[in-house]
Amino acid sequence: MEICTILWREWIFFKRQLGKITGGAIMNPLLYLIAFGWGFGEDIVVEGYNYMYYLIPGIIALSTMNTSFNAISLRVIVSKIYEKSFEYYLTAPVNIYLLALGHVLAGALRGMYAAFLIIIISYIFGIYIKINLALIFIIFLNSMLFSAFGYYAAILIKSHYQINWFKTYINTPMTFLCGTFFSLEKMPNIVKAIIEILPLTHASRSLRAIALNGQISITSIGVLFMYLIVFYFLSVYASFQEVE
């Protein structure tokens, strides 16, 4: 019941803000494609692939991260800090596990929508990547992961500005270091070892492997799923702490 209620509320919000949400989801990926794709040129080859084809899976991973994180964290922050309504959800006779799951699913669906828009843009650009159930599953898993992270961050913070800490010190470094725009082959071994444990690295790698050659990385799926479980239960724990 809790999950359906949250999803229905977010669906109403989504319909009312469809134009703004769509515009926001398209703008950054489009700029990345123009700046990196057209800027570098179509003749660039990375890891044996045309750079535009190499770039699109990374942009999908990046956009699902940002969209899922922002969608749920901002909604929770508004209801928690400004509307003062979030505490009523937590203290009401509801299952907090399902309450958290409902929010995470809502954010993940926004991430899926962003990925869908990017795929449409890539087709407009003439970049036709492989779309199958494995690709959709990784997109959904990555969206769930960062939605759970966004929910956890929103529960922890005490003011709206503190959410920028997570974006500045976690999301932004992953944006440029996790193989989204370039190969990690020439990175120093120590830096590369750190990057290898970050979730966006595995999301980009998995999407790229599926889209370009149809391969599925069980290791990357396991890492992404592990992060999802950790962030989800941290969210639930933080919610219980908020009630107390």
Q: Where are the alpha helices (DSSP H) in 78-132?
A: 86-91, 96-124
46: helix, coil or strand?
Answer: strand
Domain ranges of the chain: 2-243
Closest by CA to 2, choosing from 10, 69, 73, is 10
Residue 187: pLDDT above 80?
yes
Average pLDDT over residues 191-217: 91
130: helix, coil or strand?
Answer: coil
Average pLDDT over residues 218-232: 95
What average pLDDT does the chain have? 87
Average pLDDT over residues 173-182: 88
Instruction: Give me the pLDDT at residue 58, please.
Output: 92
Average pLDDT over residues 30-46: 74
Q: Considering only 89-98, 105-114, 128-137, 168-177, which range has the smallest mean pLDDT? A: 89-98
Q: Is the pTM of this model over 0.95?
A: no
